[in-house]
Amino acid sequence: MTAPADTTSAARGTAATPALEIRDLVVRYGSGRKAKRLPPAIDGVGFDIAPGETVGLVGESGSGKSTIGKAVLGLHPPASGAVRLHGQDVTRLSLKQRTSLAADLRVVFQDPYSSLNPARTIGQTLVEPLRLMGVGAAEALVRARKGLESVGLPADAVDRFPSQFSGGQRQRIAIARALVCDPKVVVLDEPVSALDLSTQAQVLNLLADLRDEHGLAFLFIAHDLGVVRFLAQRVVVLYRGQIMETGPVESVTQRPRHPYTVALTAAAPVPRPAEQAARRAAREALGVGSAGSAQPAAAGCPFAPRCPLATGICVEQRPPLRLVDDSLTACHHAERVPAL
Amino acid sequence: MLAYVARRLAMAVGTIVAAVVISFLLVHVSDSTPGAVRLGPGATEAQIAAENEALGWNRPLVVQFVDYLGNLVQGDLGTSLIDGRSIGADLIDRVPVTASIAFFATVLSGVLGVLLGVTAAVRGGRLARLITTGSGVALSLPAFWVGILLVYVLAIQTGLLPATGYVPFASDPVGWFTSLTIPVLTLTVGGAAIIARTANAGMREALAQEHIRTLRAMGTPEWRIRYVHALRFASLPVVSVLGIQFIALFGGSVIIENLFALPGLGQAGQFAAASSDIPALIGVVVVATVVVVLTNLLLDLLVAALDPKVRTA
Amino acid sequence: MSVLPLDAADDVATAPVAPGRRRRGLPYFLRRPGGIFGAAWLVFMLVASLTAPLWRPYGVAEQDLGDRLSLPSGEHWLGTDPLGRDLLSRIFSAGTEPLLAAAVTVLVAFGIGLPLALIAAERGRRVERVISRVTEVFLALPATILLLAVIGVIGVRTYIIMAILGVMISAAVYRVMLGVAQSVRQRLYIDAARVNGLGSLRVNAVHVLPSMATVVAVQAAQLYGIGLLIVAGLAFLGFGPAEPEPSWGFMIQDASSYVFNAPWLMVPTGLVLALTVVAANELADAIAGKASIARTRGRRNRPLARAVAAAGSPAPPDPGAILEVRDLDVSVDDGPALVTGVSFALAPGRVLGLVGESGCGKTMTARSLMGLLPDGVSVTGGSILWRGRELVGLPEKELSAIRGREIAMISQEPMVALDPMFSVSYQLTQPLRRIRGVGRAEARAIAAQLLQQVGIVDPDRVLRSYPHQLSGGMAQRVAIALALTGQPELLIADEPTTALDVTVQAEILTLLRSLVRDTGLSVVIVSHDLGVVADICDDVAVMYAGQVVESGTAARVLEDPTHPYTMALLGANPHVADGDPVPSRLASIPGTVPAPGDWPTGCRFATRCQFVRDECTTPFPALPAHGGGSVLCIRVHEVHDAGIRWSAEPVGAELAPEAAIEPVPTAGVPR
């Protein structure tokens, strides 16, 4: 995380095509009339990721952040909208087209225990994507061994089974699987939230090193703004399937322009008692409504029922994303959002 | 809840229709015809054809089916090809025999099985191993063999009970009871073994639940933890297996009725199958399906009563 | 002859065979007596039956009318039947048909049920609903009677009849397999394979099916046993091979007619049939790996290490403490220690945090305070003084009287901590009536009051609810209300907010803090999150590998950590102070927490510590620190006092291969 935020946003302006473009994405769960009546899980989300850039996707459970990851990976077909990898829409591809694309778009999942098939050796797991790309068996194995070394594991781990590794080591293997075919974009779906603190730091450092070394673009899905601030240059804050705020990570985390971002930032505890006491007082003074509050009106801002700043317009009209300082925010009262 | 009941009712009707359709089609894809069955092996081709015509066998399948359904709704199952008796009247007399065997065997299996299974789960150790092994063996014994064994022990060696035969309840309640005892015990051996296994597994799973630890942390008395909370949790799989058990016993009654010469539904099915008495066979299938479906409905309501997730859905 | 007991096997583990168990040579289930017997008997029966025409001493129809209904003899090893035919020859000649026909049923049932289950699991709800409805109808049809109808129509053609039975049973197979397939499909390695670009067929063939192999094998073996019983049952009814061809069923039918004068007749055939079915079931059990399931319970009452406690407490009790733990040891019975020498004290109205990574013994420590350790784990030394009363060695009955009334507990997963079968109202009023001795109406009023106290605005609705109708945050509030029913003085909270979102976590922490403030409650909170500790704790004990490595007030320990482990944990936390820039690298600790039993002598952190020296490898006592606290580091003066801090590894450090990868013990510690 050495690149300052403004250079990347400047770079975004000049770069020809982003590595990944998401446009007006709408994802629904279920099918039929019943599902149509429910609000979609993802409601018109759009953002770009430049080559070599890390975008953090932040939200609480139910915000739809993992659903976006699934839609990008082709694991859940969107109802409408586009996901473009280097300009090519990947949401409606045949299996064959998808396979040819698989090398460029990879994933690391949250749970390192369920993301590796326990019945297959590490080697078999790492070789699978390479073989599908048409790499010969012998060369694939060589690349798998190299891949393991590149994440700090010995090459002879190829002959072992996942159960012989700890959580942090498994997550390294998962990272090796993602990187073994030299991708351009990697979706990181909560890659460290199942790990202990010290292991989490190892994996975060590793991800930062690998990104800088290979020029990877990351879609980094997380619930913890602190972790996102470490790894990402830009951040997208999601609530109930809609973007609340997006912008350079320093602006969004240090000077949020949306009440939800404020609530989220203020709720994350810091390990310094005096500072935490002050933050707690500030949070309680904000008066954010409890998470179990009433359902939001479909036409209005999804955060309105919990928002201390909400007025009539917030219930009636969904605020569009607009530029305030460095960030885009979807709030009618962005100018009145209190500082942290 | 209302929607749940409605859905189950629709399923029940669908099942009965499916049973009729399947048995109807089965009859018509085969090369045997009712005329041939009724007239016996001595009849000529022409006689059989005439008889088939008279029975309406040559009408379009759909017409015959609608005809049959219409009669069925009125409670008319047709007449036997062999002796011309009313199938409906015959089966009405037979259902109580089969139903009472299946019912008592299910109840006894339930009581015995839960007792054994819960004991094994709660006590553990050698007793649990004994119960598990014993139920594993009991599960594997063929019912007809167990029946013979029980006849040998209870009827021949001790002379306490009659070996075979059936006494209607109306004519002699005590005789009725003793005539059913060995058949019911026979079915209970395997039934109780299955229930014991289910109850044991369910109870052990229940006791390992996180909410049991919450109860312990609240100082809840152990008997309450086991017999109110854990047992309630384990009751769901037990109840559903008991239902399956009843259905299986009801269907499996053929063998037991054959062994003990009981005039039940299964016996009628066996006679009809042996003589290719097709209307009688369809009748048995339909009646058995109705009983099964009713049991399932009852079971669904019971599960709904037990499981708040179903009840509040 | 029960046709559909497949549901009874729902509890079969869906986990694929752990590779640890697949050593070279025999598959694991052939190393259990039941598995060996089952497989051997089935193979024996199959071979003996198929080759019977070659070795049988008599022909199947060969009569010896002078030697009818005989008992076993030198000439007829198993005796003879009513026509003087040799039973041994007939039993084994009869074996081929049931053994093969039952296999037909299994093949057909799985041939239909398994692909349908795979499709339904893959294609989502709509397809699944359609298939499931159809199979439900099939399940409700009386299979045996339908089978009779089939026989009535097509005659006695055993293999076709058993294939049709397979079709009917495929509905039951589908049902069981659907559940398994769905749970396998939820595993992330399936998603990973799809991201790799693996086609649907190959995902199923390479990843889904192998993961289901165990359950398939178990179910198939069970179904095989049922198939055998059905073939024999049909033959018993006369729907088998025609005389003089032998069949097991008809031979038993024959025996039933002679049970009065020749009871032996039923024994050989029945035994062979029963043994064959038992063999199939034993094989199933062995594959499922649950042959020896009887775990011993009721060990809670075993005497604890009172003697050790008495000998090891020379110091007088701390008068200011409501709870005082001294030199607590917790061990696996006949196994390694999980917690050693843990000491801390808690004053009334204060909050103590036990903090550390997973596997450090903090949960075991917390649970030992209530005597609620898992089976097979117990306190083996030290003392727990609760208001001056020794809890170690206290009989279960007396502990039970303390639980809920004086000490209560809330746990990590609020959604599973409440009983799903009972309403919130029942779960709250039941302990209220028991502990406070109030009537039904009053209990309900108090319950509503408690819910209000934990911040629930519509207590009446929540009282009527069942746990599955509550959100995680709401469920945790109810769990806290439940803990308060007995008006305890100490609350043990085991990771109470870990499963919750941050905004909900903040609400729950605020609630706990207000309870402490308003009721004078003392709290022991277990957490891995230093932020949570900073938010709510007055005191903190940092645990590593079963020991307290540093303790003191939260303010001093967190603002000025003296133990390298605490320093490293703080450095690894990405939440930097307001205004500070984010570091380009986070501090991390190489390797992982060693498993119990693998702890180094001396400092247990030595193998991972940046500041390790030779002197760290010999045991040393804890030193005083942070006023009333302690630190377990022999180099504290040379490191902390000298101003040296744990530094982040340089760029590329994570890329260096770890020195050695030790196999991680997966199932060492019962939880």
How far away is chain A from the Cα of C579, in angstroms, using its nearest Cα?
A: 8
What pLDDT band is residue C643 in, cutting at 50, 70 and 90?
A: confident
Contact map slice: C 456-485 vs B, CB within 8 A: 466, 468-469, 479, 482-483, 485
| Mean pLDDT of all residues in A58-76 | 91
Q: Phi first, then psi: what are they for B44, rounded to 5°?
A: -85, 165
Domain boundaries, chain C: 29-54+87-289, 560-671
C208 in Cβ contact with C183 (< 8 Å): no
Residues C426-441 have a mean pLDDT of 95
- Alpha-carbon distance of B234 to B243, in angstroms, equals 15
Per-residue model confidence (pLDDT) at position C48: 95
Strands of the sheet with A327-329, listed across from one edge: A105-108, A185-189, A217-222, A54-58, A234-239, A242-248, A327-329, A322-324
- The Cα–Cα gap between C594 and C544 comes to 9
pLDDT at C303: 41
Task: Name the residue in chain C with its Cα closest to that of B124.
Answer: C296
Per-residue pLDDT for A146 more than 90?
yes
Q: Which one has a higher pLDDT value, C443 or A11?
A: C443
Per the CB < 8 A criterion, the answer to whether B163 and B182 are in contact is yes
Q: What percent of chain C has pLDDT over 90?
A: 57
Identify the H or E element spanning A207.
helix A197-214
Of A168, A198, A267, the CB nearest to C503: A267
In whole angstroms, give the CA distance from residue C566 to residue C550: 8
Question: Which CATH number describes the domain made up of C29-54+87-289?
Answer: 1.10.3720.10
- Cβ–Cβ of B141/C274 closer than 8 Å? yes
* Closest Cβ–Cβ partner in C408, C417, C422 for B210: C417
pLDDT at C665 over 50: no
Query: Are C294 and B125 an interchain contact pair (Cβ–Cβ within 8 Å)?
Result: yes
Residue A303: predicted pLDDT: 93
Q: Which amino acid is at B194?
A: I
Q: Determine whether the interchain pair C658/A154 forms a contact, defined as Cβ–Cβ distance below 8 Å.
A: yes
Nearest of C459, C478, C482, C481 to residue C470 by alpha carbon:
C478
Strand arrangement, sheet containing C337-346: C337-346, C323-332, C377-386, C389-390
Specify the pLDDT at position B313. 64
Comparing CB atoms, the residue among C199, C568, C575 nearest residue A198 is C568
> Which residues, 6+ apart, have CB-to-CB distance to A164 below 8 Å?
C661, C663, C664
Compare CB distances from C506 to A224, A229, A267 and report the shortest one's residue.
A267
CB pair distance less than 8 Å for B248 and C3: yes
Nearest-Cα distance to chain A for C391, in Å, is 32
* Chain B residues 188-247 within an 8 A CB cutoff of chain C: 190-191, 194, 197-198, 201-202, 204-205, 207, 209-211, 213-222, 229, 232-233, 237, 240-241, 244-245, 247
| Residue C494, min C-alpha distance to chain A (Å) | 16
State residue A32's pLDDT score.
Answer: 64
Distance CA A52, CA A55 (A): 10
pLDDT at C659 over 50: no
Identify the chains in contact with A, defined as 3+ C-beta pairs within 8 A.
Answer: C
Contacts of C586 in chain A (CB under 8 A): 201, 204-205, 230
pLDDT score recorded for residue A34: 66
With an 8 Å Cβ cutoff, are C411 and B214 in contact? Answer: yes
- Nearest CB neighbour to A1, from listed C584, C593, C654: C584
Question: Under DSSP, is residue B286 helix (H, G, I), strand (E, B) or coil?
Answer: helix
Predicted confidence band of residue C315 (pLDDT cuts 50, 70, 90): low
User: Looking at this protein, which amino acid is placed at residue B145?
Assistant: W
Q: Can you say how many angstroms the Cα of residue B101 is from the centroid of all Cα atoms in its chain?
A: 9
Instruction: Give me the total of CB pairs closer than 8 Å, taking one residue from chain B and one from chain C.
Output: 286
Q: Which of A236-240, C7-11, C197-201, C611-615 has the lowest mean pLDDT?
A: C7-11
Q: Could you tell me the two tokens for B303? A: 């599960």
Using the beta-carbon criterion (under 8 Å), do A102 and C649 form an inter-chain contact?
Answer: no
Cα–Cα distance measured from residue C545 to residue B283, given in angstroms and rounded to the nearest whole number? 72
Q: Show which of residues 207-246 on chain C sit within 8 Å of chain B, judged by CB atoms.
A: 225, 229, 232-233, 236-239
pLDDT band for C12, please (50, 70, 90 cuts): very low
The tokens describing C130, both together, are 């359609």
The radius of gyration of chain B's CA atoms, rounded to the nearest angstrom, is 24
CA–CA distance, C309 with C327 (Å, rounded to integer): 9
**Interface check B252 vs C, CB under 8 A:** yes
Residue C24 has pLDDT above 70, yes or no: no
Q: Which domains does chain A have, with CATH numbers?
A: 7-104+183-255+327-333 (3.40.50.300)
Percent of chain A clearing pLDDT 90 (strictly above): 59
Question: Alpha carbon of C161 to those of B21, B34, B253, C66, C151: distances in Å?
Answer: 19, 21, 19, 38, 7
Report the Cα C476 to chain-centroid distance in Å.
23
Q: Could you give the domains of chain B?
A: 99-310 (1.10.3720.10)
Are the C-beta atoms of residues C276 and C42 closer than 8 Å to each other?
A: yes
pLDDT per residue over C324-343, tens digit each? 999 999 999 988 999 999 99
C-contacting residues in B 53-92 (Cβ below 8 Å) = none
> Mean per-residue pLDDT for A191-204?
88
User: Is residue C201 scored above 70 in pLDDT?
Assistant: yes
Distance, CA of C290 to CA of C288 (rounded, Å): 6
CA distance B100 to chain C (A): 17
pLDDT, position A70 = 92
> Average model confidence (pLDDT) for chain A?
88
Residue C364 in contact with partner chain B when CB distance is under 8 A: no
d(CA C343, CA C547): 9
Could you say which residues from 136 to 155 on chain C have a Cβ atom under 8 Å away from some Cβ of chain B?
A: 136-138, 140-146, 148-154
Cα separation, B246 vs B238, in Å, equals 12
Give the model's pLDDT for residue B305: 86
Higher-pLDDT residue of C29, B268: B268
Phi-psi label, residue C69: left if phi above 0, alpha if psi -120 to 50, beta otherwise: left
Task: List subunits contacting chain B, requiring 3 or more Cβ pairs under 8 Å.
Answer: C
Encode pLDDT of C234-250 as tens digits: 999 899 998 889 999 99
* Res. C317 pLDDT band, cuts 50 70 90: low
Residue C146: per-residue pLDDT: 83
pLDDT at C18 over 50: no
Give C626's contacts in chain A (Cβ within 8 Å): none
| Cβ contact C187–A226 (<8 Å) | no
Note whether C623 and C633 are within 8 A (CB): yes
Q: What is the pLDDT of residue C304?
A: 44
Examine chains C and A and say if they touch (3+ CB pairs below 8 A). Answer: yes
Helix (H) or strand (E) holding C428: helix C424-436
Contact C153 B148 (CB under 8 A): no
A138-145: long-range contacts at Cβ-Cβ below 8 A with a sequence spacing of 24 or more? A143/A180, A144/A176, A144/A180
* Window from A75-84, A281-290, C434-443 with minimum mean pLDDT: A281-290
Length of chain C: 671
Per-residue b or e along B169-192, where b marks 16 or more CB atoms closer than 10 Å to that residue's CB: beeeeeebebbbbbbbbbbbbbbb
Q: In what order do the strands lie in the sheet with C547-553?
A: C407-410, C490-494, C522-527, C351-355, C539-544, C547-553, C629-631, C623-625
H or E element at residue C165: helix C158-185
Q: What is the pLDDT along chain B (313 residues), one digit of tens a residue?
A: 677 788 888 888 888 888 888 878 877 777 677 777 778 777 888 888 888 888 777 888 888 888 888 888 887 888 888 787 888 888 888 988 998 899 999 999 999 999 999 999 998 889 999 998 899 899 889 989 999 999 888 888 888 888 888 888 888 888 888 889 999 999 999 999 999 999 999 999 999 999 999 999 999 999 999 999 999 999 999 998 898 888 888 777 788 898 899 999 988 988 888 888 888 888 888 888 888 888 888 888 888 888 888 877 6
Q: Which two tokens stand for residue A183?
A: 């991708």
Largest CA distance in chain A: 66
- Report the 3 state secondary structure along C52-82: HHHHCCCCCCCCCCCCCCCCCCCCCCCCECC
Is the predicted pLDDT of residue A126 greater than 90, yes or no? Answer: yes
**pLDDT tens digits for range C86-126:** 999 999 999 999 999 999 999 999 999 999 999 999 988 88
Q: Count CA within 13 A, CB hemisphere, residue C659.
A: 5
Cβ separation C140–B198 shorter than 8 A: no
Q: Which amino acid is at A169?
A: Q
Q: Decide if C531 and A107 are in contact by the 8 Å CB cutoff.
A: no
Q: Which has the higher per-residue pLDDT, A79 or B83? A: A79
User: Is there a contact between C208 and C198 (Cβ–Cβ < 8 Å)?
Assistant: no
Residue matched to tokens 């178990």: C218
pLDDT at A7 over 50: no
Alpha-carbon gap: A118 to the closest alpha carbon of chain C (Å): 7
Nearest CA in chain B to C138: B15
Cα(C527)–Cα(C494) distance, integer angstroms = 7
pLDDT at residue C67, rounded to an integer: 84
Q: State residue A6's pLDDT score.
A: 39
Of residues C272, C309, C6, the one with CA closest to residue C135: C6
Question: CA-to-CA distance for B23 and C21, rounded, in angstroms?
Answer: 49
Q: CB-CB: which of C294, C297, C417 is closest to B132?
A: C294
Take residue C280 and report the two structure tokens written for it: 């199939």
At residue C451, does pLDDT exceed 70?
yes
ipTM above 0.85 for this complex: yes
C660: number of Cβ within 10 Å: 7
**Averaged pLDDT of chain C:** 86
Q: Report chain C's C-alpha Rg in angstroms.
A: 33
Q: How far is C456 from chain A (nearest CA, A)?
A: 10
At C336 the three-state DSSP class reads coil
User: Which residue does chain C place closest to A306, by CA atoms?
Assistant: C503
pLDDT given for residue A185 in this prediction: 94
